[in-house]
Chain A
Amino acid sequence: EVQLVESGGGLIQPGRSLRLSCTASGFTFGDYAVSWVRQAPGKGLEWVGFIRSKAYGGTTEYAASVRGRFTISRDDSKSIAYLQMNSLKTEDTAVYYCTRDLHHDAFDIWGQGTMVTVS
């Protein structure tokens, strides 16, 4: 079964750091880009950033709201993507989803999400 599973969420104080993991299974993880999307309680979806596959340089893009504080990386040998979140703010409180990013097409696979509460 093709799936993504996030982990690492929890309650964290403002200004602290947290790292989320996204573990893939059922497909060749290294062939795909990964995007992170978040959803604040009762709100809509917000794209956080993404990492290209190694074939396209493994480079990253970020939303302005997190640029300079969040870093996305990947370990294709373990089929894991990471979201390192530094200098957390209360407004970063959200469910964080990792997704399989098909570039111009869509985000076709979503994890179940992990909740991050900054308080």
Chain B
Amino acid sequence: DIQLTQSPSFLSASVGDRVTITCRASQGISSYLAWYQQKPGKAPKLLIYTASTLQSGVPSRFSGSGSGTEFTLTISSLQPEDFATYYCQQLNSYPRTFGQGTKVEIK
């Protein structure tokens, strides 16, 4: 199984900060990586797919990059509504796997 390791697991930041979350895969997954945002009590929401494609309706302050084994999710200017938990997911092979999550909290 492909393991995904996100760093950091917890992040404290202020409104307006630039935030970067990293996701590392235990083996190459080409660009078959997605990012999701989850708020408490809600279902995850797709932000980015194929590593760098912004899902329709997602603000342009979110961006993704990477290929192979290392990927990043960047929020260029953190907004109050962005405080949430973020997960990466690989879609290269089965079983599909998720990272452990990165919780972004208000400093």
- What is A's interface to B at a CB cutoff of 8 Å? 35, 37, 44-47, 50, 61-64, 97, 102-108, 110-113
Q: In the assembly, what is the distance between CA of A115 and CA of B36, in Å?
A: 20
User: A44 near B43 (CB under 8 angstroms)?
Assistant: no
Instruction: State the total of A-B contacts with C-beta under 8 angstroms.
Output: 59
User: Nearest residue in B to A113 (C-beta to C-beta)?
Assistant: B43
Known: A103-B91, A106-B34. A47 touches B97 (CB 8 A): yes
User: A61 near B94 (CB under 8 angstroms)?
Assistant: yes
- Enumerate 15 A-B pairs (CB-CB under 8 Å) in ascending A order: A35-B96, A37-B44, A44-B100, A45-B38, A45-B101, A46-B98, A63-B95, A103-B91, A105-B49, A105-B91, A106-B34, A107-B44, A110-B43, A112-B43, A113-B43
| Docked complex: B23-56 residues within 8 A CB-CB of A | 32, 34, 36, 38, 43-46, 49-50, 55
Total interface residues on B, CB under 8 Å, equals 23
User: A105 near B95 (CB under 8 angstroms)?
Assistant: no
Q: Pick the residue among A45, A50, A63, A106 that contacts B49 (CB under 8 A).
A: A106
Known: A107-B46, A112-B43. A44 touches B95 (CB 8 A): no
